[in-house]
């Protein structure tokens, strides 16, 4: 089980970083986020990287980043 990312859908808004840092520390501070959003404006590409601090938000019905990614670029599911 892990965090599944659809980078074709992601628009790079970085709200997931804020949601994740709030989950971990109770603050809106992207430095404390398990998910990081990298936008290459020249190439028009967005990449998301999830590091080892991601715990999949076990106390929440849905991970915080999934709840607040309103366009549905994130979901929790089985990794292939």
Interaction site with ligand SF4 (CB under 6 A):
3, 10-16, 19-20, 23, 34-35, 37, 48, 50, 54-57, 63-65, 69, 71, 73-74
CB of 33 to ligand SF4, least distance (A): 6
d(CA 73, CA 62): 14
Closest to 28 (Cα-Cα) out of 64, 72, 66, 71: 64
CB of 14 to ligand SF4, least distance (A): 5
CB of 55 to ligand SF4, least distance (A): 5
Is the Cβ of residue 58 or residue 80 nearer to ligand SF4 in the bound state?
Answer: 58
d(CA 59, CA 23): 10
Instruction: Please state, in angstroms and as integers, the Cα–Cα distance from residue 3 to each residue in 19, 41, 52, 73, following that order.
Output: 14, 24, 12, 10
Is the Cβ of residue 12 or residue 28 nearer to ligand SF4 in the bound state?
Answer: 12
């Amino acid at each position: 089980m892990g965090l599944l990312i659809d980078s074709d859908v992601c628009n790079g808004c970085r709200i997931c970083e804020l949601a994740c840092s709030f989950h971990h520390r109770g603050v809106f501070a992207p430095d404390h986020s398990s998910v990081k959003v990298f936008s290459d404006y020249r190439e028009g590409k967005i990449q998301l990287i999830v590091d080892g601090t991601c715990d999949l938000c076990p106390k929440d019905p849905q991970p915080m980043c999934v709840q607040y990614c309103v366009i549905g670029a994130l979901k929790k599911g089985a990794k292939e």
